[in-house]
A and B are shown apart, each in its own frame.
Chain A
Amino acid sequence: MQETNGHRVGGWQPLMLALDLPPLTVSGAQIGEQKLAVWRDSHGQVHASDDRCPHRGMRLSLGFVREDMLACLYHGWRFDESGHCRVIPAHPGVTPASTICVPVFPVAECMGLIWSRADGVATGAGPETEWRLPEGGSVTPVRTLTIKASLKTVMARLGATAGQSVRMLVTTGSGAVLPLLIVARPVGHDRTQCHLLLEGTVSQEDCEQAAFWAKDFRNTAERCDTGADYCV
């Protein structure tokens, strides 16, 4: 499941908090070099496809969801969850050929996160196993944050192993103990995406404290790793 130097990233990858993708919305995500359009239909189901419209190459993640299909912003072609084009607005009477389609990717929603994989492997094992997520129990999602530091730096600061979830207890200034659950992966050039959750159902105040902790953690990690830059 580790990154194999930049290109094909194997295994389940945590893309975003489930709460950050409300029904009928689409969002962009990336696994290695693979760009994804991730969208949620009216029944709450999440789908992921290649982020490139087969018509003229527009990014589908800039589109919108209509009638439980992903619609392209440019000329409105609509793709169902299997990636098949079902509607071409310029030709309302015509059923699009079954060859017009966009590649789709498996999606899992678990532990308050949306996961996908772009390696084409179907192992049968879910993200729980691969990432050693805590069994059962509920989680409270806090936030996703992007840290301008390498995954190596971030994992070293957490004292944990890349590719696995991190469980740690943090004591706040007021003496409360926060049961943090962190799932981190590399994104883009030398940046790390951290999804932060709390185990169990916690109070609003603990959630706020966890968000403050996250900001501090980001600051420290970025100070150790000043190489990351937006202009690459």
Chain B
Amino acid sequence: MSDLILLDDELDEDCYRARLAASLMGVPVLLRAVDVIPGNEQDTLSFRALSPSGHLPALTGATDPADALPAICGAEAILLTFAALSADKAWQPSTPMETGAVAHWMTFASRDLRPAMRLRRKAMFGGDGDDCAWLSATHDAFRIMEDHMVLRRISGHGWFAGEAPTLADIALFPSFALCRDAGTEQDAYPTLRRWMRRVKTLPGFIAMPGIPDYG
């Protein structure tokens, strides 16, 4: 296999998901910065040749020429790819139940946490959108996560699915950890805050601007 190259935007939340996953799973990747702001490089023909919808992050070096896919696009897809590539098999769900729970929370991250990502993007880089609806949808999503983690704590667990950290935790973590960028308070989610600290202590954890790696 050729080198894995992650087409990356340092301040983008989904790109951080992919970098964090690579680091936690010990998958070596080369980063190639895509100039999204202000360059709009994601709209250039050369980038669109790799990622037809202009989606970041994108990963090259992991596809089979036979399937005609130039790159794996999107955080969720890249997380799954890294788990399959990692020498550490603990990142692959071990039971059907765990597979289901991990898939559930990964879907939740890419669908229900979308408003939180949009809110942060708008707070940092401007743009249009209904802050009020996004904020309320963000709190709805965090509340669902908090309710879940309260029950997990009561049953003696510290992670979203399974006994150990999974792709679910990696997929969910950035939106909660970065929500202060958009001025969203974390105080109403004490159980998520403790889980967030737990994630920060994992071997291989890396921060991004907006997430202090201590505390």
A22-B193 Cα distance, complex, nearest whole Å: 11
A207 at the interface (CB under 8 A from B): yes
A130 at the interface (CB under 8 A from B): no
Known A17-B190, A143-B191; judge A231-B132 contact (CB<8 A).
yes
- The one of B136, B154, B194 in contact with A229, judged by C-beta atoms closer than 8 angstroms, is B136
Q: Which residues of B contact A208 (CB under 8 A)?
A: 151, 154-155
When the two chains form their complex, are residues B154 and A28 in contact, meaning their CB atoms are under 8 A apart?
no
When the two chains form their complex, are residues B180 and A62 in contact, meaning their CB atoms are under 8 A apart?
yes
A54-B181 Cα distance, complex, nearest whole Å: 22
The listed residue with most B CB atoms (<10 A of its CB), out of A22, A26, A143, A211, is A143
Known A64-B215, A208-B155; judge A16-B190 contact (CB<8 A).
yes
A168 at the interface (CB under 8 A from B): no
B125 at the interface (CB under 8 A from A): no
A135-B65 Cα distance, complex, nearest whole Å: 72
The listed residue with most A CB atoms (<10 A of its CB), out of B154, B185, B191, B197, is B154
When the two chains form their complex, are residues A207 and B154 in contact, meaning their CB atoms are under 8 A apart?
yes
A136-B25 Cα distance, complex, nearest whole Å: 49
Count residues of A near B (Cβ-Cβ below 8 Å).
28
B131 at the interface (CB under 8 A from A): yes
When the two chains form their complex, are residues B131 and A231 in contact, meaning their CB atoms are under 8 A apart?
yes
- The one of B131, B155, B185 in contact with A28, judged by C-beta atoms closer than 8 angstroms, is B185
User: Closest approach, in angstroms, between the C-beta of B115 and any C-beta of chain A?
Assistant: 12
| Residues of chain A in range 116-134 having any CB-CB distance to chain B below 8 Å | none
A144-B147 Cα distance, complex, nearest whole Å: 10
Q: Which residues of A contact B187 (CB under 8 A)?
A: 27-30, 61
User: Closest approach, in angstroms, between the C-beta of A182 and any C-beta of chain B?
Assistant: 15
A146 at the interface (CB under 8 A from B): yes
When the two chains form their complex, are residues B155 and A211 in contact, meaning their CB atoms are under 8 A apart?
no
CB-based nearest B residue for A26: B215
When the two chains form their complex, are residues B151 and A211 in contact, meaning their CB atoms are under 8 A apart?
yes
A208-B150 Cα distance, complex, nearest whole Å: 9
B101 at the interface (CB under 8 A from A): no
User: Closest approach, in angstroms, between the C-beta of B186 and any C-beta of chain A?
Assistant: 8
A33 at the interface (CB under 8 A from B): no
When the two chains form their complex, are residues A230 and B190 in contact, meaning their CB atoms are under 8 A apart?
no
Interface of B is mostly: helix
User: Closest approach, in angstroms, between the C-beta of B193 and any C-beta of chain A?
Assistant: 7
A164 at the interface (CB under 8 A from B): no
Known A16-B190, A62-B180, A143-B150; judge A230-B132 contact (CB<8 A).
yes
A149-B191 Cα distance, complex, nearest whole Å: 21
B204 at the interface (CB under 8 A from A): no
A204 at the interface (CB under 8 A from B): yes
Contacts A25-B197, A211-B154 supplied; 14 other A-B pairs, CB < 8 Å: A16-B190, A20-B191, A20-B194, A21-B190, A22-B194, A27-B193, A28-B186, A28-B187, A62-B215, A63-B215, A73-B212, A204-B155, A215-B147, A230-B135
A230-B214 Cα distance, complex, nearest whole Å: 29
A26-B193 Cα distance, complex, nearest whole Å: 10
CB-based nearest B residue for A24: B215
CB-based nearest B residue for A65: B215
A164-B155 Cα distance, complex, nearest whole Å: 30
Q: Which residues of B contact A146 (CB under 8 A)?
A: 188
Known A63-B215, A64-B215, A231-B131; judge A20-B190 contact (CB<8 A).
yes
A and B contact pairs by CB, cutoff 8 A, 9 listed: A25-B215, A64-B214, A73-B215, A142-B150, A143-B150, A146-B188, A204-B155, A208-B155, A230-B139
User: Closest approach, in angstroms, between the C-beta of B149 and any C-beta of chain A?
Assistant: 10
User: Closest approach, in angstroms, between the C-beta of B157 and any C-beta of chain A?
Assistant: 11
